[in-house]
């Protein structure tokens, strides 16, 4: 991979196309690993669809709350250049050296001057334009910000509707802008950039509701799309989070969700399943109930596709705890009562035909690549599939047909956030493999001057009070606050700024620090969440330690919330400044702790995920140790002859293993187990124990990261008569049998015994009828999760049987068919070829008897409405996947958690799908959850990309705001150990002679969250920069 010979020198920069969560993840991974990134988006701000969502399943996290920090990080990153309102025109060249032509549309706002204060937004007289971000449910002006937390935060002028551009009058925004940022003269421009690789994360769009005109979206006001409904739920949405009907603003009581709009529908050429709609609909139903317990939500669905980690539990909770009604029915049409705008649904379910009236209907729209993205694909010159998604291969799921151009997210196929984030990291790894040698060649060196040592100096505090345009200055009397600040102890300088955050003010603050020999700085302005890092780097550039800075939030917590009370707001602003000054007085410079990094990764497990991760790490230029407890590589995939798409798994597996053994940077250990792992991110030391030739050997390795890729295992069924008849087999065994039949006789190896239970004399004509039972040992009380792959396995085998013998009767007894994504195509084929699918429920499980050594299956057919009996030649059980043996041991060694089902638990289900909460440890493949080869491969690449953000550094800089233990106070009660989510604090013997024990903080792992400090009864723990004493003095200052 990436070994293309090229005459032109390679470029250590990457173009990322599309600034949704996928693009942001790719950009951050790449920039954190030493590459310059151009992050391009057509929209005026990054954020994509995720920015529009209210909450996310299955954790019900607020979408914006978890996304926003990533957007801010991307916006602030020294090596990420945001290029919004920008389109890609074309890419020329070859991997390593592409020339990209871009068109940058005029924003009419100068990003270098705009501070995002928003003063202009209220002055624009054009106020009735439909707000596209809010699904047209509210209006915006001609100058607008895409959404409140937009990055960049600068507004955009919609020239098509701006009076200045249309009629050459107005100019109100320019007058309102005190920063002088409005620039009507900006022109669209074409630019060319050099990059070494391209990552496409352009996303997809919600399927247009026009695909189902009979649902009346656009005609009936109370029929909304799912994305519109997300905005209705959102506190920042058009109705400020009050769930109400667009027609009359009344709170709806009965709300219906209709699934598969623009999905699983060949009639509109959208045959695939959009993979996430079942879950988002159930989530929306749950959240609606959380808004009001009066609401009666109903979801009309075909199959409940809750195939992900903890998804089934979520759906169960929705039904049982939240009273969400799930009805298996496809609704053919909606009628509206023109007077009440209520909606009548007619549908047929197992229980009969019904007519039911609803107050509101939400259409669960699928995802499609819109024409502009199809067009983008053409401009970038890679292949698209028949639906217009980027065509990829299961074994290289992030690789487009064009070398050097990778793809991730829903532009390759519909996928939810975790898969998008995983793919995005994986695509970043693919880009890094091309540019391993160029790492670090184009990044900015941060030029921070030597720090002045201010110890022993009398405190000299400078206070800068911000007007924030009129945001603060319009309410708080800023000059009065400045005067007051001058009277505070040790304040030697105070001034007011129009915008403290603007570039010229930053320079001014630096000058003032030098002129007045300031050794503490207070800025009274907005939120430290968004602006503290900026001011900290400013004071650092003036030679002050960044922790000699304190901030007072006199905007969000003062002028904004006391808009109508200027006197009180001014008094409060003074108090806040007084408190900040009191804190500043006692601030101490905090040193930066640097820790070395061993540039090698340990990969545990040599299946597809482990091999891919090791190859990706090696491709990125790092050493990889691949540890396999078996005697050969391959893992579970060795037992899979073919994928449903028809890939020869064994051949691909051999290719992969050959690449691994040939790679000079990979060292593989067979018959080897992990005995012990010590250390922490960047600095692990692992003891391996190998067995071979009757000997036990131990070896110690040093490495900087760990990738857990230990896989999972097939479960051996205990039910439905398995083991009691040679005709009862697992799906895996059935697949082996079918392969055996297809294999030419002369190539069948004599003596290579299959499982003795399998009837070896099987020939195609004897396979007259096959029954398959799904969810055997999955989705039950003991294992309340879906094993994700079994439906597709069953469909694959059913198709293979039909291929061998088109007259064979194949029955699949299922609960929900979960052939999500493009796999739906094979489900459709199976039905077309006459495979019979019979649904059962947990209450009507099939019954298997054995008569004369052969299985007899009784099941209730819900369509016929009666019990039927089948006497198949073969009964195949789709037995699920269970966690790998030894997972608990490994989890304990790594101090990482397992979930209640026994799979490894990621740091965050949505946004950190391959990371553990413990830094430097990552996961890939089935150890995380059952998944397909393409998903495991993408996750393995992602783990390598995440690993590169650590391994690409020479040193790790520990956080300065870490916990600090006073050992003389510590009682060694171990409470802090149990509380620390990062395993960063541990009680140790600190004096061998006296045996004195005390808690010791590992600064590399500590995040400064303060859980330990808050719970330390002996008050032996403080957080640097947030000492209890300082906070006490700050409060005292307020009370004085």
Q: Contact residues for other proteins (CB under 8 A)?
A: 290, 968-975, 977-979, 987, 995, 1015, 1017-1019, 1029, 1039-1040
Tell me how far, at minimum, the Cβ of 1040 lies from other proteins, in Å.
Answer: 7
Tell me how far, at minimum, the Cβ of 321 lies from other proteins, in Å.
Answer: 11
Nearer to other proteins, 146 or 998 (CB): 998
Tell me how far, at minimum, the Cβ of 970 lies from other proteins, in Å.
Answer: 8
* 87-92 contact pairs (CB < 8 A, 24+): 87/40, 87/42, 88/15, 88/17, 88/40, 88/376, 88/379, 88/380, 89/190, 89/379, 90/379, 90/380, 91/15, 91/198, 91/379, 91/380, 91/381, 91/405
Tell me how far, at minimum, the Cβ of 780 lies from other proteins, in Å.
Answer: 21
Tell me how far, at minimum, the Cβ of 973 lies from other proteins, in Å.
Answer: 4
Distances in Å between the Cα of 104 and the Cα atoms of 85, 111, 370, 553, 914 are 6, 13, 21, 35, 34
Nearer to other proteins, 780 or 977 (CB): 977
- Residues 762 and 783 sit within 8 Å (Cβ to Cβ): no
CA 906 to chain centroid: 11
Nearer to other proteins, 210 or 292 (CB): 292
Nearer to other proteins, 69 or 978 (CB): 978
State both tokens at 328.
Answer: 């298996």
What is the residue-wise DSSP string for 470-481?
TTTTTTS-HHHH
Tell me how far, at minimum, the Cβ of 1018 lies from other proteins, in Å.
Answer: 4
Which DSSP helix (H) or strand (E) runs through 897?
Answer: none
Residue 637, SS3 per DSSP: helix
Nearer to other proteins, 485 or 1012 (CB): 1012
State both tokens at 161.
Answer: 């509707």
Nearer to other proteins, 195 or 963 (CB): 963
Tell me how far, at minimum, the Cβ of 921 lies from other proteins, in Å.
Answer: 22
Nearer to other proteins, 360 or 1037 (CB): 1037
- Residues in CB range of 146: below 8 A, 6 or more apart: 43, 44, 45, 47, 51, 133, 156
- Residues 940 and 610 sit within 8 Å (Cβ to Cβ): yes
Around 205, how many Cα atoms within 13 Å sit in the side-chain half-sphere? 13
Tell me how far, at minimum, the Cβ of 61 lies from other proteins, in Å.
Answer: 11
Site of tokens 């549309």: 105
- Cα separation, 495 vs 493, in Å, equals 7
Helices 226-233 and 277-291: angle between axes, nearest 10 degrees: 30
- Residues 794 and 876 sit within 8 Å (Cβ to Cβ): yes
Tell me how far, at minimum, the Cβ of 958 lies from other proteins, in Å.
Answer: 25
Nearer to other proteins, 331 or 1012 (CB): 1012
Nearer to other proteins, 714 or 1026 (CB): 1026
End-to-end CA distance of the chain: 68
Buried b (16+ CB within 10 A) or exposed e, 13-31: bbbbbbbbbbbbbbbbbbb
- Residues 915 and 897 sit within 8 Å (Cβ to Cβ): no
- Cα separation, 942 vs 923, in Å, equals 9
Distances in Å between the Cα of 44 and the Cα atoms of 161, 171, 287, 503 are 16, 21, 29, 21
Tell me how far, at minimum, the Cβ of 320 lies from other proteins, in Å.
Answer: 14
Nearer to other proteins, 800 or 970 (CB): 970
- Residues in CB range of 962: below 8 A, 6 or more apart: 593, 984, 1001, 1003, 1006, 1007, 1008, 1023, 1024
Nearer to other proteins, 125 or 1032 (CB): 1032
- Cα separation, 675 vs 259, in Å, equals 50
Nearer to other proteins, 630 or 977 (CB): 977
Tell me how far, at minimum, the Cβ of 122 lies from other proteins, in Å.
Answer: 32
Nearer to other proteins, 353 or 968 (CB): 968
Strand order across the 672-680 sheet: 672-680, 683-692, 695-703
Site of tokens 């006497």: 871
Beta-strand runs (E) in 290-378? 296-301, 325-328, 334-336, 343-349, 352-358, 360-365, 367-368
Name which of 862, 812, 869 is nearest 837 in CA terms: 812
Nearer to other proteins, 850 or 979 (CB): 979
Tell me how far, at minimum, the Cβ of 98 lies from other proteins, in Å.
Answer: 48
Tell me how far, at minimum, the Cβ of 1019 lies from other proteins, in Å.
Answer: 4
Tell me how long the chain is: 1040
Nearer to other proteins, 167 or 1017 (CB): 1017
Tell me how far, at minimum, the Cβ of 459 lies from other proteins, in Å.
Answer: 17
Tell me how far, at minimum, the Cβ of 249 lies from other proteins, in Å.
Answer: 23
Nearer to other proteins, 676 or 1035 (CB): 1035
Distances in Å between the Cα of 994 and the Cα atoms of 969, 989, 998 are 16, 9, 12
Nearer to other proteins, 234 or 410 (CB): 234
- Residues 201 and 17 sit within 8 Å (Cβ to Cβ): yes
Tell me how far, at minimum, the Cβ of 971 lies from other proteins, in Å.
Answer: 5
- Residues 54 and 970 sit within 8 Å (Cβ to Cβ): no
What is the residue-wise DSSP string for 729-753?
EEHHHHHHHHHHHHS-GGGSPTT--
Tell me how far, at minimum, the Cβ of 611 lies from other proteins, in Å.
Answer: 36
- Residues 559 and 471 sit within 8 Å (Cβ to Cβ): yes
């Amino acid at each position: 991979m990436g070994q293309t010979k090229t005459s032109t020198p390679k470029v250590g920069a990457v173009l990322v196309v599309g600034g949704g969560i996928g693009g942001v993840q790719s950009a951050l991974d790449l920039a954190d690993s030493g590459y310059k990134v151009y992050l391009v988006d057509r929209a005026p701000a990054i954020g994509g669809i995720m920015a529009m969502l209210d909450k996310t399943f299955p954790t019900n996290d607020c979408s914006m709350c978890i996304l926003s920090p990533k957007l801010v990080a991307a916006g602030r990153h020294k090596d990420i250049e945001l290029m919004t309102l920008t389109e890609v025109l074309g890419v020329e060249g070859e991997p390593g050296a592409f020339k990209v032509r871009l068109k940058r549309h005029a924003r009419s706002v100068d990003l270098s001057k705009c501070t995002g204060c928003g003063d202009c937004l209220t002055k624009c007289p054009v106020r009735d334009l439909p707000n596209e971000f809010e699904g047209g449910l509210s209006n915006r002006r001609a100058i607008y910000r895409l959404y409140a937390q937009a990055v960049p935060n600068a507004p955009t002028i919609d020239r098509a509707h701006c009076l200045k551009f249309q009629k050459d009058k107005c100019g109100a925004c320019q007058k309102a802008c005190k920063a002088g940022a409005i620039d009507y003269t900006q022109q669209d421009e074409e630019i060319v950039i050099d990059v070494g690789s391209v990552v496409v994360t352009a996303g997809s769009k919600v399927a247009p509701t026009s695909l189902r005109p009979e649902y009346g979206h656009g005609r009936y006001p109370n029929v909304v799309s799912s994305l519109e409904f997300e905005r209705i739920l959102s506190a920042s949405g058009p109705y400020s989070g009050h769930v109400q009907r667009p027609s009359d603003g009344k709170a709806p009581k009965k709300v219906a969700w209709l699934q598969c709009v623009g999905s699983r529908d060949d009639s509109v050429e959208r045959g695939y399943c959009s993979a996430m709609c079942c879950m988002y609909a159930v989530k929306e139903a749950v959240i609606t109930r959380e808004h009001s317990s009066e609401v009666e939500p109903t979801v009309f669905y075909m199959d409940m596709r809750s195939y992900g980690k903890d998804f089934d539990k979520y759906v169960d909770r929705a039904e049982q705890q939240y009273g969400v009604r799930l009805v298996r029915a496809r609704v053919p049409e909606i009628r509206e009562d023109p007077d009440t705008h209520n909606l009548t649904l007619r549908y047929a379910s197992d229980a009969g035909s019904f007519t039911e009236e609803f107050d509101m209907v939400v259409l669960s729209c699928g995802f499609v690549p819109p024409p502009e993205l199809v067009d983008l694909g053409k401009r970038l010159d890679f292949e698209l599939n028949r639906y217009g998604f980027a065509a990829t291969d299961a074994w290289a799921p992030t690789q487009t047909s064009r070398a050097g151009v990778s793809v991730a997210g829903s532009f390759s196929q519909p996928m939810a956030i975790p898969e998008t984030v995983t793919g995005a990291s994986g695509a970043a790894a693919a880009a890094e493999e091309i540019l391993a040698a160029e790492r670090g060649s184009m990044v900015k060196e941060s030029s921070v001057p030597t720090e002045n040592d201010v110890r022993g100096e009398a405190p000299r505090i400078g206070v800068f009070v911000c007007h924030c345009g009129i945001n603060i200055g319009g309410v708080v009397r800023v000059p009065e606050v400045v005067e007051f600040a001058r009277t505070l102890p040790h304040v030697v300088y105070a001034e007011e700024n129009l915008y403290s955050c603007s570039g010229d003010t930053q320079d001014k603050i630096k000058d003032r620090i030098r002129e007045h020999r300031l050794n503490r700085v207070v800025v009274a302005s907005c939120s430290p969440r968004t602006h503290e890092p900026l001011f900290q780097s400013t004071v650092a550039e003036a030679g002050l330690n960044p922790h000699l800075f304190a901030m007072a939030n006199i905007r969000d917590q003062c002028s904004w919330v006391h808009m109508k009370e200027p006197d009180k707001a001014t008094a409060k602003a003074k108090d806040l400044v007084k408190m900040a000054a009191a804190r500043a007085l006692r601030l101490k410079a905090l040193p930066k702790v640097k820790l070395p990094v061993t540039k090698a990764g340990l990969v545990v497990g040599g299946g597809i995920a482990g091999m891919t991760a090791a190859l990706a790490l090696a491709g990125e230029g790092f050493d990889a140790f691949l540890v396999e407890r078996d005697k050969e590589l391959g893992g579970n995939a060795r037992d899979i002859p073919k994928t449903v798409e028809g890939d020869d798994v064994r051949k691909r597996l051999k290719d992969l293993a050959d690449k691994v053994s040939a790679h000079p940077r990979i060292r593989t250990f067979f018959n080897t187990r992990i005995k012990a792992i010590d250390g922490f991110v960047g600095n692990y030391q692992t003891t391996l124990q190998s067995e071979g030739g009757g000997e036990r050997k131990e070896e110690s390795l040093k490495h900087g990261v760990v990738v857990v890729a230990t896989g999972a295992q097939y479960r051996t069924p205990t039910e439905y008569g398995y083991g009691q008849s040679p005709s009862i087999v697992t799906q895996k065994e059935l697949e082996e049998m079918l392969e055996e039949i297809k294999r030419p006789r002369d190539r069948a190896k004599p003596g290579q015994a299959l499982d003795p239970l399998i009837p070896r004399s099987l020939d195609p004509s004897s396979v007259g009828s096959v029954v398959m039972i799904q969810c055997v040992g999955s989705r039950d009380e003991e294992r309340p999760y879906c094993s994700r792959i079994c439906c597709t396995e069953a469909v694959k085998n059913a198709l293979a049987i039909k291929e061998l013998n088109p007259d064979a009767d194949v029955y699949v007894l299922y609960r929900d068919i979960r052939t999500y994504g493009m796999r739906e195509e094979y489900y459709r084929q199976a039905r077309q070829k006459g495979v019979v699918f019979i649904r059962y429920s947990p209450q009507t499980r099939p019954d298997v008897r054995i008569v004369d050594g052969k299985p007899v299956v009784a099941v209730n057919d819900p369509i016929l409405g009666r019990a039927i009996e089948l006497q198949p030649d073969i009964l195949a059980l789709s037995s699920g996947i269970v966690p790998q043996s030894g997972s608990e041991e490994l989890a304990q060694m790594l101090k990482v958690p397992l979930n209640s089902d026994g799979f490894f638990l990621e740091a965050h289900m949505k946004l950190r799908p391959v990371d553990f909460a413990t830094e430097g440890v990552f996961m890939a493949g089935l150890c995380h959850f059952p998944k397909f080869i393409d998903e495991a491969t993408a996750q393995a690449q992602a783990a390598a990309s995440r690993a590169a953000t650590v391994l690409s550094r020479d040193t790790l800089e520990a956080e300065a705001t870490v916990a600090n233990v006073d050992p003389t106070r510590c009682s060694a009660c171990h409470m802090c150990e149990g509380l620390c989510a990062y395993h960063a604090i541990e009680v140790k013997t600190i004096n061998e002679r006296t045996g004195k024990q005390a808690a010791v903080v590992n600064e590399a792992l500590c995040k400064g969250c303060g859980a330990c400090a808050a719970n330390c009864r002996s008050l032996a723990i403080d957080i640097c920069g947030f000492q209890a004493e300082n906070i006490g003095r700050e409060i005292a200052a307020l009370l004085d």
